[in-house]
Amino acid sequence: MFQKNIDFLVHLGMAALGGAVGATARYALGLIPVKTVFPWVTFFINLTGALLIGFVTGIIMGRKAINPNLVIFVKIGVCGGFTTFSTFSLEVLNLLEEDHLFTGILYAVASICTCLLGVWVGRRLAGYCM
């Protein structure tokens, strides 16, 4: 029981540390001045986050002895702090690769549509509070 509590705390710490690294990297990249309408920096962040989480999961799939703290640090922490789009992309790909075509497409479309709606509703609610 004691060891499980220690492992849990270490895992939380690794997620937090990785999240700090990812969030700091995202912030730093966001400071790059880009003078176009297309959000290139966010696009780059989402793409590199997806590449990183794909690379990490590919390594994990090829090896059995990977330190779980390192996996939590990179997948949940760094990628999660950098972009949650990477996790979303991995989950959709996993569903598609596991022959859950309908569920994968439904999840992708529903996530994008409901999140856009959520941002719109949130903005409207904020307007009522001002």
Q: How many of the other CB atoms lie within 10 Å of CB of 86?
A: 25
Domain annotation covers residue 114: no
Note down the domain range covering 58: 2-83
What does pTM read for this prediction?
0.75
Provide the residue type at 19 as one letter: G
Domain annotation covers residue 97: no
Tens-digit pLDDT profile for residues 94-105: 999 999 999 999
Q: How many domains does the chain have?
A: 1
Domain annotation covers residue 28: yes
Domain annotation covers residue 45: yes
Stretch 42-67: mean pLDDT: 85
Domain annotation covers residue 130: no
Domain annotation covers residue 50: yes
Which whole-number Å values give the CA distances from 44 to 15, 26, 63, 97, in the listed order? 23, 10, 29, 25
Whole-number pLDDT of residue 8: 94
Domain annotation covers residue 9: yes
DSSP single-letter state for residue 72: I
Tell me the two tokens of residue 128: 């009522």
Q: What percent of the chain has pLDDT above 70?
A: 98
Domain annotation covers residue 19: yes
Residue 107 clears pLDDT 70, i.e. is over it: yes
